[in-house]
């Protein structure tokens, strides 16, 4: 019954988002960029952050907050100054997909010249889903397994869940796109990252990088230099993660997520300076091990504690179990109907 009510909310919110983006496209086509366009888009900018609170499910509230209260909001702010990635002249369905889902469209000519990202053939979406379903039962052992092993499970869970959510969004978007339009990849084998710059800039959650680069990094770098651009970008990313944690846990921000990203921004600046001076040239395998180890260790220290203190992991387990039960019942019903 609860899943049914959440599906009803999802349908209503989808309709609200579609109507909102239809208005956004209409206004952007008729109002010149700058303050006039920003004022015309302000009703939708104010509406989007409230929509995720209609969900009682932690998963749906967190995912919709990421899609609408972060990515879509930043896209609209960039659209107000005509900075992309949204383009008002796009047909409505591609515009809707690009605005409401975590995707970035690629020009077909550019796409053919672009080097395809490395995708592990061992981890297609179905295998990742199976691996995620195998990881979840480890939560039941959290009282007996080592805390660091449990935190490693959280890391794997977050990566697989993000990959599957973003891949699902890309699949849904592909149904709305005409032939000839392609979608930027959202991950590029982050487990192969050889540096923090490689991890954050080229491999991990590339949609966020594509949004923060034009909105924060490039303007700040143009005025204050590269280091300031990096630090400002990671500061904003940290603040937005605090907001995402608030949607997920409904608890006040603690500042730990911001500290995590500011620390990584400072280390990325130091890494670039060390590489430029010739002090940082480890072998590729060691560089990957050190990079992933640093990301995991700082995540254990700063990123995951707010989620664990709120017991959101227990809600995640309960919702995953309920979702699996729902899918099993639906599968049995389909098999019975086919027979």
Q: Supply the pLDDT for residue 114.
A: 46
Q: 278 pLDDT exceeds 60?
A: yes
Answer yes or no: are the C-beta atoms of 60 and 6 closer than 8 Å: yes
Q: Supply the pLDDT for residue 321.
A: 65
* Confidence label for 325 from pLDDT (cuts 50, 70 and 90): low
> How much of the chain exceeds pLDDT 90, in percent?
45
Q: Among 73-77, 171-175, 203-207, 252-256, name the one with the lowest average pLDDT.
A: 171-175
Q: Supply the pLDDT for residue 28.
A: 94
Quick one: average pLDDT of 260-264? 97
> How much of the chain exceeds pLDDT 70, in percent?
85
Q: Among 32-46, 105-119, 123-137, 147-161, name the one with the lowest average pLDDT.
A: 105-119
Q: Among 45-59, 82-96, 163-177, 216-230, name the one with the lowest average pLDDT.
A: 163-177
> Which position has the higher pLDDT, 111 or 146?
146
Which value, in Å, is the radius of gyration of the alpha carbons in the chain? Answer: 21
Q: 292 pLDDT exceeds 60?
A: yes
* Confidence label for 120 from pLDDT (cuts 50, 70 and 90): very low
Q: 333 pLDDT exceeds 60?
A: yes
Q: 112 pLDDT exceeds 60?
A: no
Q: 65 pLDDT exceeds 80?
A: yes
Quick one: average pLDDT of 160-167? 81
Q: Supply the pLDDT for residue 334.
A: 61
Quick one: average pLDDT of 42-49? 96
Strand partners, 29: none
Q: 121 pLDDT exceeds 50?
A: no
Q: 117 pLDDT exceeds 50?
A: no
Cβ count within 10 A of residue 319 = 17
């Amino acid at each position: 019954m609860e899943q049914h009510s959440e599906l009803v909310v999802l349908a209503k919110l989808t309709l609200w988002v579609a109507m909102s983006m239809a208005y956004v496209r209409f206004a952007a086509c008729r109002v010149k960029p700058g303050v006039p366009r920003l004022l015309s888009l302000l009703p939708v900018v104010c509406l989007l952050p409230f929509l995720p609170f209609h969900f009682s499910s932690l998963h749906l509230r967190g995912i919709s907050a990421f899609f609408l209260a972060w990515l879509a909001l930043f896209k609209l702010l960039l659209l107000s100054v005509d900075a992309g990635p949204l383009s008002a002249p796009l047909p409505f369905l591609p515009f809707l997909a690009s605005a409401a889902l975590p995707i970035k469209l690629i020009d077909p000519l550019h796409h053919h010249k672009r080097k395809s990202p490395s995708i592990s053939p061992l981890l297609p979406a179905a295998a990742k889903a199976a691996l995620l379903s195998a990881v979840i039962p480890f939560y039941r052992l959290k009282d007996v397994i080592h805390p660091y092993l449990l935190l490693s499970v959280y890391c794997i869970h977050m990566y697989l869940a993000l990959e599957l959510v973003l891949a699902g969004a890309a699949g849904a978007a592909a149904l709305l796109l005409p032939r000839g339009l392609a979608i930027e990849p959202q991950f590029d084998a982050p487990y192969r990252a050889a540096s923090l710059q490689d991890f954050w800039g080229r491999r991990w959650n590339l949609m966020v990088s594509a949004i923060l680069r034009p909105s924060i990094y490039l303007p700040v770098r143009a005025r204050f230099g590269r280091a300031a651009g990096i630090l400002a970008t990671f500061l904003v990313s940290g603040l937005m993660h605090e907001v995402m944690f608030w949607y997920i846990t409904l608890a006040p921000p603690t500042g730990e997520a911001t500290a995590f990203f500011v620390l990584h921004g400072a280390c990325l600046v130091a890494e670039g300076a060390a590489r430029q001076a010739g002090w940082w040239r480890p072998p590729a395998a060691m560089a990957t091990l050190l990079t992933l180890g640093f990301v995991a260790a700082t995540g254990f220290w700063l990123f995951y504690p707010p989620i664990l203190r709120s017991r959101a992991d227990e809600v995640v387990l309960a919702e995953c179990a309920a979702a699996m039960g729902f899918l099993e019942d639906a599968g049995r019903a389909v098999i019975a109907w086919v027979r």
